[in-house]
Amino acid sequence: MEKLDLDILKEMSQRDLSGLVSIYLPTSKKGQEVNQSRIRLKNLLRDAENDLIEKGFSPVDAQAKLKPAARLLDETIFWQNQNRGLAILISPEGMNYYRLPFEVEELAMVSNRFYIRPLIKFVTSIERFNILTLSQDEVKLYEADPYDIRKIEAPKIDQLVADYVPGHELHQESTSPKGAASGAGPGMHGYNEMSKTEKNEISNHLRNIDKEVRSMLKDAKHPLIVYSVDYIYPMYRDVSSYSNLMEESIKGSPEGVGEKNIHQKAMDIFAPKIEKRLKKEFEKFKTLLNTDSKLGSDSIAKIVLSAKSGGVDTLFVAEDVQKWGFFNEEKNTLEINNKEDLGHVDLLDHAAIMTLVNGGKVHVLEREKMPSGKPIAAILRF
């Protein structure tokens, strides 16, 4: 599986060749759904073969083109290492596949262009953040996004925890597991009874941890969410110099909590921030659309031409709509005709890629969530 980034998306969008195959299907990591995913792929390959033959390929050539994907049907380990969705793209040069962290609709498409809207959604929806769990016996650092969580190996932090002699004073969890789980009771009581020296020891320990956290995260500057009992987070916040430490923290003891639950607790904090920002962008777009047509638009032609010149600040595009047309880059003109011919592009994909290339933001949304009801909308720069 190849790494997926903007450069790869741009290269995919520029492919213009008869018989490009795009296959998407929902997948699962376990249970009977694993075998169901194989059946889905088998059926989609049959559909793609029929489509290739209808478009002029011989049965032998159609089967040869799809053979790399057909081999996946017998690879047990491949199916045991899936996520929630799978994209398979086939060209004369070979096959690439991408595991996706969200479900996709079953699709087998043969065209002169790859269908890449779900891949655009994947690249544009990965907002990374970090989670720092502070507990009595261990401190862990994670990298996360809305779909996944990954532990970052931090041997220097592990050593700091191992060398910290009064470790039982970092949290008072051991005095009452029930109180620790809620982040209240004995933990807060223990803090109030600590001497100034003990509090200073904890602060110094947290300061050393923060130093290593900043060193490991370097210039990423992703939001950092702390997971700890009540009184530790204010102490960490006071000594931390991390530039994007989130004000809200996960309260309670992280000891014994699995990564999946840690991720869910963090998303309970992080997701509303994303939704609030998107809502604000919706409101800005609607205001501009109603007051200044130069800065807010839901016209495909205007947005596509603006995206090419770097004029789109924020793009909203429906995830399951295609609008085909011919874009003459030399004359900077556009013809919308909904024909999947050589030289023609999916204009919505084209607008999304050009917006990203020129530093704009792209939101791939469900059709019913589009801000003006049309399949494309944009906040323009000029």
| Residue finishing a domain among 213, 246, 271 | 271
pLDDT at 193 (0 to 100): 64
pLDDT at 192 (0 to 100): 63
pLDDT, tens digit, for every residue of 116-143? 999 999 999 989 999 999 987 889 999 9
Identify whether the C-beta of residue 157 lies closer than 8 Å to the C-beta of residue 42. Answer: no
Identify whether the C-beta of residue 2 lies closer than 8 Å to the C-beta of residue 47. Answer: no
Give yes or no: residues 134 and 107 share one domain.
no
Asked whether residue 10 is domain-assigned, the answer is no
Host domain of residue 36: 17-111
Give yes or no: residues 376 and 287 share one domain.
yes
- Give the C-alpha separation, 225 to 263, whole Å: 11
Give yes or no: residues 267 and 281 share one domain.
no
pLDDT at 171 (0 to 100): 47
Give yes or no: residues 293 and 267 share one domain.
no
pLDDT, tens digit, for every residue of 164-192? 866 444 444 434 443 443 444 334 345 66
Q: Mapping DSSP to helix (H, G, I), strand (E, B) and coil, where does residue 305 land?
A: helix
pLDDT at 176 (0 to 100): 41
Q: What is the CATH number of the domain that holds 169?
A: 3.30.420
- Give the C-alpha separation, 357 to 315, whole Å: 12
Q: Which two tokens stand for residue 337?
A: 């005709």
What is the chain's percent helix, strand, coil content, to nearest 5?
A: 45, 20, 35
* Low-confidence residues in the chain, pLDDT < 50: 167-189
- Give the C-alpha separation, 118 to 106, whole Å: 12
Give yes or no: residues 292 and 265 share one domain.
no
Asked whether residue 209 is domain-assigned, the answer is yes
Asked whether residue 4 is domain-assigned, the answer is no
Strand partners, 377: 316
pLDDT at 2 (0 to 100): 66
223-256: b (≥16 Cβ within 10 Å) or e: bbbbbbbbbbbebbbebbebeebbeebbbbbbbe
pLDDT, tens digit, for every residue of 182-223? 444 334 345 666 678 888 888 999 999 999 999 999 866 899
Q: Which of 82, 129, 121, 71 is nearest to 267 (CA)?
A: 129
Asked whether residue 124 is domain-assigned, the answer is no
| Residue finishing a domain among 248, 271, 294 | 271
pLDDT at 142 (0 to 100): 97
Burial class (CB in 10 A: 0-12, 13-18, 19+), 27: buried
pTM: 0.82
Report CA dihedral (172, 176, 179, 183) to the nearest 10 degrees: 20
| Residue finishing a domain among 63, 85, 111 | 111
Q: How many domains are there within the chain?
A: 3
pLDDT at 333 (0 to 100): 83
